[in-house]
Amino acid sequence: QWTTSSIVDDQVARIRAEIGDDGHAICALSGGVDSAVAGALVQRAIGDRLTCVFVDHGLLRSGERTQVERDFVAATGVNLVTVDARDQFLTALAGVSDPEEKRKIIGREFIRVFERAARDLKEKGDAEYLVQGTLYPDVVESGGGTGASNIKSHHNVGGLPEDLQFTLVEPLRLLFKDEVRRVGLELGLPETIVQRQPFPGPGLGIRIIGEVTGDRLDTLRAADAIAREELSAAGLDRDIWQCPVVLLADVRSVGVQGDGRTYGHPVVLRPVSSEDAMTADWTRLPYDVLERISTRITNEVAEVNRVVLDVTSKPPGTIEWE
Ligand code: XMP
C-alpha cells in the first residue's frame, strides 16, 4: 500500500543509506514547494547534518523571506543560512530593461551567490551532497537522465555548474506535484508553504516592465501583497493557478485623487487558470473581488493610479509578461 507516510519512511531510509552516518548535505531553498519538501525530507533523515541556503535576491514578494526563515525553520528545525544579496542583484540589474538580459543576469548572480555559500560550507567540511527538489515530470522532460548531468535538475537551482562537485540527492524524483504537497503536509510543513502557487525564479525582476530599481520593487511588492491578500480572503487561491501583478514602470497615465492630478503607473492583474502552465486561460474573477483589489491598490500604493486586467489566454500571451 503506497501511502504518503510510507513514501516518507521509504525516502528517509533511502536518504540515510545514501548519505551515511557522517555525510553532510546542502540544499538551496527557493521559497517554493519542491525545494522545501526535499529539504524537509533530508532534514528528517540526517538532522543537523543538513544546511539549507536561502538567497534573498531582493526580488521576493512580501513575506517570502519570513516564510522561509520563520515558518520553514519552525516546522523542520533545519539549519538555515540566509544570504542577503539584495545589493548585489540590484547593482547587477541597474540600467537593464531587456527581459532576456534580466533573466541571464539574475541566473548568473544566483549561481555566484550560491556557489560562494556552498564553497564556504564545503571548506568547513560541511557538505558533500547537494539536495534538489527534482520531480518526476522534470526527470521525464530531461530524458530520464540520472545524476549530475541532468539539465533540468540543474535548472532547478538556477543552472549550477558541473564543477561544483557535489553528489546529488533528489528524494522527489519519483513524485508528482500533488504527491509532493501531500508529503510536505505529512512532514508538518505549513499550508502557506505547501499550497504555494508557482512563482518564477527571477521573481519580481521580470514583473517590472522596464528597469528594476529598489523603489519600483517596493511599489510592486505592495501592490502584489494586496492582490494576494484579497484573492485569499475571497477563497480563490485554489481556483487560480497564479496571479502575477505586473508594474508598467515605463508607462504613466493621468489620474485624479482627492483634489489633485496624479501621474502614476499602472499595474496589471494577470490571473490565470491552468493545468500545467503550458497553456492557460485568463480567470474570470468576480467583479467585487476585482473592485476591492483595484480600490485598495490605488488607495494604498502611492505610485499606482490605475489597475488593469489582462484578458489574454496562453497562447498567444505567456503567463509572465517577460
Ligand atoms: P510563462 O510565462 O512561460 O510561464 O507562460 C509558465 C510558468 O513558469 C513560471 N516561470 C518560471 N519559473 N523560472 C521559474 O522557476 C523562470 O525563469 C520562470 N519563468 C516563468 C511562470 O510563473 C509560470 O508558472
The pLDDT of residue 144 is 53
Q: Do residues 301 and 222 touch, judged by C-beta distance below 8 A?
A: yes
Q: Report the C-alpha gap between 117 and 231 in whole angstroms.
A: 36
Classify strands 25-29 and 129-131 as parallel, antiparallel or unpaired. parallel
Coil, strand or helix at 211: coil
126 plus 243 within the same structural domain: no
Q: Does residue 200 belong to any structural domain of this protein?
A: no
Which of 59, 108, 320, 321 to mutate for ligand 1's pocket (most ligand atoms within 8 Å of CB)? 320
190 plus 211 within the same structural domain: no
Residue ID of nearest Cα to ligand 1 atom 3: 318
Q: Does residue 319 belong to any structural domain of this protein?
A: no
Q: How many domains does the chain have?
A: 2
31 marked ligand binding residue: yes
Q: Does residue 90 belong to any structural domain of this protein?
A: yes
Q: Does residue 314 belong to any structural domain of this protein?
A: no
Q: Does residue 38 belong to any structural domain of this protein?
A: yes
230 plus 297 within the same structural domain: yes
189 plus 217 within the same structural domain: no
Of 172, 194, 216, which residue sits at a domain end? 194
Q: Report the C-alpha gap between 158 and 32 in whole angstroms.
A: 13
Q: Which domain holds residue 144?
A: 4-194
Please report how the helices 177-186 and 33-46 are oriented relative to each other, as an axis angle in degrees rounded to 10: 40
160 plus 29 within the same structural domain: yes
Looking up cell 493621468 gives 254
280 marked ligand binding residue: no
Of 131, 162, 194, which residue sits at a domain end? 194
Of 160, 194, 228, which residue sits at a domain end? 194
Q: How far is the CA of 180 from the centre of ligand 1 (A)?
A: 19
Q: In what helix (H) or strand (E) does residue 114 lie, and over which residues does it extend?
A: helix 99-123
The pLDDT of residue 216 is 98
In the predicted model, what is the mean pLDDT of residues 279-289?
98
Which of 152, 319, 322 to mutate for ligand 1's pocket (most ligand atoms within 8 Å of CB)? 319
In the predicted model, what is the mean pLDDT of residues 162-186?
92
Helices (H) then strands (E): counts for the chain = 12, 12
pLDDT per residue as tens digits for the range 77-128: 999 999 999 999 999 999 999 999 999 999 999 999 999 999 998 888 889 9
95 plus 240 within the same structural domain: no
Q: Does residue 199 belong to any structural domain of this protein?
A: no
The pLDDT of residue 140 is 81
In the predicted model, what is the mean pLDDT of residues 25-47?
95
Q: Does residue 22 belong to any structural domain of this protein?
A: yes
Residue ID of nearest Cα to ligand 1 atom 10: 200
107 marked ligand binding residue: no
124 plus 162 within the same structural domain: yes
160 plus 16 within the same structural domain: yes
Q: Which residues does residue 28 pair with via DSSP β-bridges, in sequence order?
A: 53
263 plus 127 within the same structural domain: no
Whether the predicted pLDDT of 159 surpasses 70: no
219 plus 168 within the same structural domain: no
93 plus 211 within the same structural domain: no
Whether the predicted pLDDT of 38 surpasses 70: yes
- Average of per-residue pLDDT values in the chain: 92
Whether the predicted pLDDT of 150 surpasses 50: no
Q: How far is the CA of 43 from the centre of ligand 1 (A)?
A: 28
Atom of ligand 1 nearest to the CA of 244: 22
The pLDDT of residue 149 is 40
Atom of ligand 1 nearest to the CA of 198: 24
In the predicted model, what is the mean pLDDT of residues 264-290?
97
Q: How far is the CA of 199 from the centre of ligand 1 (A)?
A: 7
Q: Does residue 315 belong to any structural domain of this protein?
A: no
The pLDDT of residue 227 is 98
Residues enclosing ligand 1, CB less than 6 A? 198, 200-202, 242, 277, 314, 318-320
- Nearest CA among 115, 90, 144, 104 for reference residue 28: 115
**In CATH, what number is assigned to the domain containing residue 61?**
3.40.50.620
Question: pTM here?
Answer: 0.90
Q: What is the DSSP string of 18-63?
A: HHTTT--EEEEE-SSHHHHHHHHHHHHHHGGGEEEEEEE-S-PPTT
Whether the predicted pLDDT of 151 surpasses 50: no
186 plus 301 within the same structural domain: no
**In CATH, what number is assigned to the domain containing residue 261?**
3.30.300.10
